[in-house]
């Protein structure tokens, strides 16, 4: 695995992102929501672990990201932060934690940093939240933006389809990215937008862009770990590359274990005291 590790073996920091972008070093992200998974993913050499609010779906079994709370995000993020030595750890600010006011958003961002021990937060939204992001950055909190398909707005969009297909939405997205860049974001996640638009955004901003379903021109890529490891059988969108079939491996191992218990083959003499 060593040749796939980031060229820097040090702990990844938010300021390092600007160097990586300038040097053309692509930035790898994966999600994680618990200690054991995060420690394995960190050992694999990923640059950043995102404690995404996709925890609401993947870890908690909800249909959307909307139900997860600040307390639940802190629980997941603290478990991940304890496991990680190399990767930058970013925690999503959940739905409802920053929409009411900039003060409340700032207070919740500070709470997440203090109680979860993560390195940065991520927030969905464009120019309208840029003043709040500037206050967070001024308070010492590295912030990642998130544009395009923003799952916390699924009910407004009416689904999880491709965003910014038309000129008006594409122009707004570029303006939003510039506003987030000027507010001090160290990176912006671009979710499910055309590859050409992601290229334009990547060239227009000084911070790094991290794509998911946004093509090859972004400065980095992010996937949900359970999807890329094949743990979620029903989910196979065009943008997903699956690197393992853990569903098959785990159900097979569980089946063999059940059989060994039923046949009294497990435990045997060497496995007993």
Q: Which residues are catalytic?
A: 191
Q: Dig out the tokens for 238 from the structure.
A: 């065009």
Among residues 20, 116, 180, 222, the one that binds ligand KIV under rule CB under 6 A: 222
| Residue corresponding to tokens 């079994």 | 61
Please tell me the distance from the alpha carbon of residue 108 to that of residue 106, in angstroms, as a whole number.
Answer: 5
Q: Is 145 one of the binding residues for ligand KIV (CB under 6 A)?
A: no
CB atoms within 10 A of CB 91: 30
Peptide bond into 267 cis (omega under 30): yes
* Cβ closest to ligand KIV, residue 6 vs residue 54: 54
Q: Is 118 one of the binding residues for ligand KIV (CB under 6 A)?
A: no
Residue 223 C-beta: closest distance to ligand KIV, Å? 8
The residue nearest ligand KIV at its CB is: 52
Contact pattern from residue 43 through residue 82 relative to ligand KIV, giving x for each residue in contact according to CB under 6 A and a dash for the rest? -------x-xxx----------------------------
Residues 184 to 213: which contact ligand KIV by CB under 6 A? 189, 191, 212
Characterize 102-138 residue by residue with b for buried, 16 or more Cβ atoms within 10 angstroms of its Cβ, and e for exposed.
eeebbebbeebbeebbbbbbbbbbbeebbebbbbbbe
Q: Is 92 one of the binding residues for ligand KIV (CB under 6 A)?
A: yes
- C-alpha distances in angstroms, 181 versus 30, 131, 184, 237? 22, 11, 5, 29
DSSP annotation of 125: B
Q: Is 176 one of the binding residues for ligand KIV (CB under 6 A)?
A: no
Q: Is 84 one of the binding residues for ligand KIV (CB under 6 A)?
A: no
Residue 64 C-beta: closest distance to ligand KIV, Å? 11
Number of residues that bind ligand KIV (CB under 6 A): 11
* 191 touches 213 (CB < 8 A): yes
Binding interface with ligand KIV (CB under 6 A): 31, 50, 52-54, 92, 189, 191, 212, 222, 224
């Amino acid at each position: 695995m060593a040749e796939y590790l980031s060229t820097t073996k040090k702990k990844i920091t938010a300021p390092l992102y600007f160097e990586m972008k300038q040097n053309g070093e692509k930035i790898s992200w994966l999600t994680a929501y618990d200690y054991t998974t995060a420690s394995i993913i960190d050992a694999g050499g990923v640059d950043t672990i995102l404690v995404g609010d996709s925890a609401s779906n993947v870890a908690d079994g909800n249909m959307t990201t909307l139900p997860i709370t600040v307390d639940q995000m802190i629980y997941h993020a603290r478990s991940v932060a304890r496991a990680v030595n190399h990767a930058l750890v970013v925690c999503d600010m959940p739905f409802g934690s920053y929409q009411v006011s900039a003060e409340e958003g700032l207070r919740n961002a500070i709470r997440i940093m203090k109680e979860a021990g993560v390195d940065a937060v991520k927030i969905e939204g464009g120019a309208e939240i840029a003043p709040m992001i500037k206050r967070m950055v001024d308070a010492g909190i590295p912030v990642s933006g998130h544009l395009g398909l923003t799952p916390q707005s699924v009910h407004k969009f009416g689904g999880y389809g491709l965003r910014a297909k038309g000129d008006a939405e594409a122009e707004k997205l570029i303006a939003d990215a510039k506003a987030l860049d000027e507010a001090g974001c160290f990176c912006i996640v671009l979710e499910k937008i055309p590859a050409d638009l992601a290229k334009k955004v990547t060239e227009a901003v000084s911070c790094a862009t991290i794509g998911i379903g946004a093509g090859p021109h972004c400065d980095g890529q992010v996937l949900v770990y359970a999807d890329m490891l094949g743990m979620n059988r029903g989910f196979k969108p065009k943008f997903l590359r699956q690197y393992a079939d853990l569903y098959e491996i785990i159900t097979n191992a569980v089946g063999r274990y059940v059989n060994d218990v039923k046949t009294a083959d497990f435990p045997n003499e060497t496995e007993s005291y």
